[in-house]
Amino acid sequence: MINKSKKIISLLIIAAVLAGCANQANANTPIPEDESKQQETEAIATQTDEERAQIELESKLAEREKLEKQRKEELGEFYVPLVSLGKEQEKKSVEVKALYATGHTAGNALNKENIDAYGEYVKALSEGDTLKAKEFSSVAEKANKFERIIGIAIGTEINGLVINVKDDNGFITYDSDIEIVQKMNEETPIQIDDVSGMLQILKEYDIYTIGRIVAFKDKNFAVKSPEHSIQLKSGGTWLDPNSGNIPWVNPFDKYVWDYNVSIAKEAALLGFDEIQFDYVRFPDGAKRYNPITEFPGREGRDKDEAIADFLEYAEKELEPYNVNLGADVFGIITRTWDDYPEDIGQTWVLMGQYVDNMAPMVYPSHYSTGWYNLDNPNAHPYLVVKGAMEEAVEKNSSMEKPPVIRPWIQDFDWAGIEYGPDKVRDQIIAAKELGIAEYMIWNPSNSYDPYSFMLTSKEKSETYPADKGEMDYREKTPSDAADKYLTGMIQGRYSYMYLMEPVSKRIQDFDDYSELQATSNIKLLNYKVYGYEMDKDNCDLAKAEVYYKIEVTENETKHIIEKDNVKWEAVREHNIWKINAEFETSADEL
């Protein structure tokens, strides 16, 4: 019995050992792939939303760290980080009415008590409440220049500020973290000690912020890095006699582009809602300096191609930062075409493709005798701005995606003529009547009269934009549009034809359009425009009645075709009348 029991116990022990070995074997056996995925799915399912979000964030952070390391290697001294994950924001859409502030003004200390007091003081003035204005006047007087600017934004229609980021000397106004900017501004006094704090306060008051970057008139950069400036053919750096004999950087130079764009990126990171490039052009006086200068990196391009290429590059580079982009242009660019005759690199339809807004500097003091049929344009601010904005609206109407027109308005005395609130307001009203609601005010001293930004009695009673009936914003009729188109054709002024054709009916590239017209087999010999008839059901459609006599060349044979009482369709596009000009040149006519 004893031996039998021992045998049974031994068998039980062996069985247990064998079972253990079997379990161990199962543990070392690979789990089938389907079963593994199922276990992974079950594990993920047991995670909380918070845990999953944390894992996803860590993954994104790791990817971003890798990307930033790569960008730092590629960009080198121009490196600026991307917007931090989780801090991205959409572009703002604001109807901007802004005042200009230098870095020195924006560097003033800000006291909210002073700001609020001045804001209440301005509100009281706007409402005609003299008792309330008197109540706040003593406290309001304590406000410094910058606090008053913010107070004006509180109490009037002003809702934006243009602040120097890189000024007219090329000096940066804040403490930059960009290697190349630090190098170029080692001895530059910092004008804005706490730019982030300043921007935060402006955001608290819901003020739209525009960072002004003077692009190519950069004495600081040109002096410290002369190889990137405009060169003399005889050797050395060209100096601009119109600006105190200072050098300009070379707008064809990619290195200069990267310098300006890196500053724009950093300004966006700091919190500016918009980047505005000023002096985004070549120097004026081109007839004098063109023969004696050269521009490394030009590669056969025209000047306006360089400026457009720069803005296209800036637009692409700034895309991840979600800021609006604007460009300041000469006031006369609203009239001139294809950078002629100024040759400064500014052509409206080229630049406007790559910016959110165009800012023509239509200061009446900048126009000479004869402009807009005025002996002294500086004495007639309303008429100057009206004329310039009519031209700007027409230019914009020729574009597939036109930019916002936001003019710079004069708020400074000139040649013995004082520019008080009446003259400032006249300019604003001239633009409003044409449907241009945005503006920026240039006062170099940054001392603004709040009455300039309060609605007049006329504005309170009028409707804007002004209703011009059958006429367009240029106060032209369908007949006028046909006449301008045909004038352009008979004189070889293809810009007239380009402007007067509906955008959808022609090619967009003006150079290609010009070549097409120049090689056309149709030559206009004579024409007459009789009048027009409005469409009864659509106030934006009409028929213009014309007579024309054309010469048509077919197989080296010339034929004359004469047509009378031809009715061409006219369409009001972006509030400008355009013409669908169709000449009959069929074989039976020949």
Residue 565: is it exposed, middle or buried by C-beta count within 10 angstroms (0-12/13-18/19+)?
Answer: exposed
Distance CA 550, CA 563 (A): 9
**Residues whose CB falls within 8 Å of the CB of residue 222, separated by 6 or more in sequence, listed in order:** 170, 228, 229, 237, 246, 247, 248, 249
- Tokens representing residue 566 in the block: 């031809």
**182, 174 in Cβ contact below 8 A?**
no
Q: How far apart are CA 282 and CA 341, in angstroms?
A: 13
Instruction: Summarize pLDDT for 52-68 with one digit per residue, the tens.
Output: 888 888 899 999 999 99
The backbone region for 370, taken as left when phi is positive above 0, alpha when psi lies in -120 to 50, beta otherwise, is: left
DSSP state of 378: G
Percent of the residues in the chain that have a pLDDT greater than 90, as a whole number: 87
The pLDDT of residue 513 is 97
> Whose CA is closest to 478, among 489, 490, 486?
486
265 Cβ partners below 8 Å, 6+ apart? 80, 317, 318, 321
* Extended strands (E) in 331-429: 357-361, 404-405, 408-410
Mean pLDDT, rounded, of the chain? 92
Residue corresponding to tokens 């603004």: 448
Pairing of strands 408-410, 404-405: unpaired
Q: Which of 361, 254, 270, 273 shows the shortest CA–CA distance to 314?
A: 254
At residue 8, the pLDDT reads 40
Read off the pLDDT band of 28 (50, 70, 90). low
Query: What is the reported pLDDT for 139?
Result: 84
The structure tokens listed for 234 are 């005889």
State the average pLDDT over residues 150-158. 98
**Per-residue confidence band for 7, with pLDDT thresholds at 50, 70 and 90:** very low
As a whole number of angstroms, the distance between CA 539 and CA 559 comes to 38
| Amino acid present at 503 | V
Distance separating alpha carbons of residues 49 and 41, to the nearest angstrom: 14
pLDDT confidence of residue 41: 60
Distances (CA, A) of 153 to 85, 205, 590: 32, 8, 68
CB 348 within 8 A of CB 331: no
Cα dihedral across residues 476, 481, 482, 485: positive or negative: positive
Q: Give yes or no for residue 415 having a pLDDT over 70.
A: yes
In whole angstroms, give the CA distance from residue 234 to residue 113. Answer: 60
Q: Tokens at residue 328, please?
A: 């300041």
The residue-averaged pLDDT of 385-401 equals: 97
C-alpha span between 464 and 455 (Å, rounded): 13
pTM: 0.90
Query: Is the model's pLDDT at 566 over the cut of 50?
Result: yes
How would DSSP label each residue in 222-256? HHH-GGGBPEETTSSB--BGGGTSB--B-TT-HHH
At 88, list the tokens: 């991205």
**If you average pLDDT over residues 217-245, what whole number do you get?**
97
Best CA proximity match to 569, nearest among 536, 545, 539, 538: 545
DSSP E strand stretches across 356-442: 357-361, 404-405, 408-410, 439-442
Mean pLDDT of 89-107: 96
What does the pLDDT read at residue 36?
A: 62
Sign of CA dihedral 408, 412, 413, 419: positive
Q: State how far Cα 47 lies from the chain centre.
A: 46
Residue 148 has which token pair?
Answer: 């008053």
537 by DSSP, 3-state: which? coil
3-state class (DSSP) for residue 532: strand
Task: Give the mean model confidence (pLDDT) for residues 236-255.
Answer: 97
Share of residues in the chain with pLDDT > 70 (%):
91
Q: Hey, what are 310's tokens?
A: 């720069």
Q: What is the pLDDT of residues 432-482, one digit of tens each?
A: 999 999 999 999 999 999 999 999 999 999 999 999 999 999 999 999 999
Taking 70 as the threshold, does the pLDDT of residue 2 lie above it? no
Single-letter amino acid, residue 316 = K
Are 487 and 524 in contact by the 8 Å Cβ rule? The answer is no
Binning the chain into helix, strand and coil, the percentages to the nearest 5 are 45, 20, 35
| Mean pLDDT on 396-401 | 96
Query: Which range has the worst mean pLDDT, 34-38, 78-82, 285-289?
Result: 34-38
Go through the domains of the chain in sequence order and give each one's CATH number: 97-109+144-461 (3.20.20.80), 478-580 (3.10.450.50)
What does the pLDDT average to over 173-182? 98
Instruction: Provide the Cα torsion 416, 421, 422, 428; round to 10°.
Output: 110
Rounded distance between C-alpha atoms, residue 89 and residue 450, angstroms: 32
Q: What value does the mean pLDDT take over residues 334-341?
A: 94
Rounded Cα distance between 134 and 132, Å, is 5
Tell me the three state secondary structure of residue 91: coil
pLDDT digit string, tens, across residues 461-474: 999 999 999 999 99
Residues 6+ positions from 185 with CB-CB distance below 8 Å? 171, 172, 176, 220
CA dihedral 411, 416, 418, 423 (to 10 degrees): -70
User: Residue 107 has what pLDDT?
Assistant: 98
Q: Where are the alpha helices (DSSP H) in 493-580?
A: 494-500, 510-518
